Structure 1
Amino acid sequence: MNLAQNNQLVSILLNSIPHKILKFCYFIMLCMVMVSCGNNNNKQTDKDKDDTVVEETENSETTDNKTILFFGDSITAGYGLETTDDAYPAVVQQKIDSLDLNYTVVNSGVSGETSAGGRSRIDWILNQDIEIFLLELGANDGLRGVPLSETRNNLQAIITAVKQKDPSTKIILAGMELPPNMGQDYTSGFRTMYAELAKKNDVVFIPFILKDVGGIAELNQSDGIHPTVKGHEIIANTVWEYLKPLL
């Protein structure tokens, strides 16, 4: 049987099928096509959902870093350095990154800042969520001979504000010492003030943030007060000793 004869036979068979049955067959075929398309669309939708979940997870991991805030004066700000990337907060960030930890260091140091200045801006600083708060203030008070009671009250107010904003925030208090020319009574009282504040508030205490740096000429700039790049590396190591256990 040739092709023409086959086509003629198919035509005869189709014409012999009742019209209603033929319409029903067409209807069934149409439904099957629609269901098939629907399944394909659902599969694509599921894939899109999976891609969205992956993307959201990646974004969450990227933005889920906790904040470590360094609140201080010119020592924290990196006064006299060519770039703040050489200041000890940035060096601490490098240590954190080397361990692939989800923490971001924020340098909130202001050159010339006193405890009173820090107290006046603390509420604005606390508009962000802070996991760890390092307080490094008071040196400029001491160099100016500000009464110890005033410095103590300001530092206490800052600590209190941080705790009230979020009691879970971990606080590190960095102590400072003064040169002997400020008088023995004043320098001694200045030193013990930090230890007493740390004990009273049950916070982590760094007795002297300039340990192994203060008073060493080659580790300080020409003013004899502000650390060099090498000095900041040593400060970062001192801070890291107390900070690392909190991470």
Structure 2
Amino acid sequence: MRHSVLLLTTGLALLCAACAHYRTPGGAVQWDALHGTDADAIPRQPSPHFPSNLSVVRLQASEYQSATVGSYGKGRYSLVTSGELLSETQLQAMAQWPAVASVGRLDLQLLPRKLESLDDLRLSAAKLQSDILLMYTVETTFRIGGQDYGPDRKLRLGGAPGEGDAVTSVARAVFTDVRTGYTYGEARGIVSRGLDAAAVADARSVDAARLAAERDAFTQLVGEAKARWGEIARHYR
């Protein structure tokens, strides 16, 4: 009995200790990481084809993880296949953009395990007969107690909230030609949400604030991407 109580006490202590910290999510992909060292040796050119088939994919830094999702692939970058940001409703709305024939997610089964360059994504998209890759990435940072916490940092919870405590999410996207790797345009969404004592009380609360900020930033990104795509279609058709 005494042994059982000791184990229970120890378990509760470990649980409380675990709740006192939060690991921030991994970082965004660096677009330069998608290109080889000789990326600029041959200028990339557009090869517009309208109406276009779009493949959408979320890219993150190598071996990305958050409290809610993991990633696929090793190498220069990784893929997040979960739909926690891009909903089916948003995907269907993209299919209604001007000069868009179809929209779908990039097929994970067509990708190698080791992701080294943009060519890996282009080849996968080409097998799906896609014309344009819409690649997006998200980076979330925190400011708590006067300290800034970037990607993949251990954040201590439970302290008194400070003035200016906030979580900031930046979502970025690029439209890339599947045939040539040419970049047609970019879009961005950025959201900063204040954090009160309740939001940083435990890991679950702070992660809920993180996910809410990321979803808002992504929604903003989709709106800007729609406008940017309209400009691309008018220019290249």
> Taking structure 1 as the reference length, what is the TM-score of the superposition?
0.33
Name the TM-score, length of structure 2 as normaliser: 0.34
Structure with the larger strand share: 2
- Greater CA radius of gyration, 1 or 2? 1
Q: Which has the higher helix share?
A: 1
Name which structure has the greater RCO, CA cutoff 8 Å, separation 6+. Answer: 2
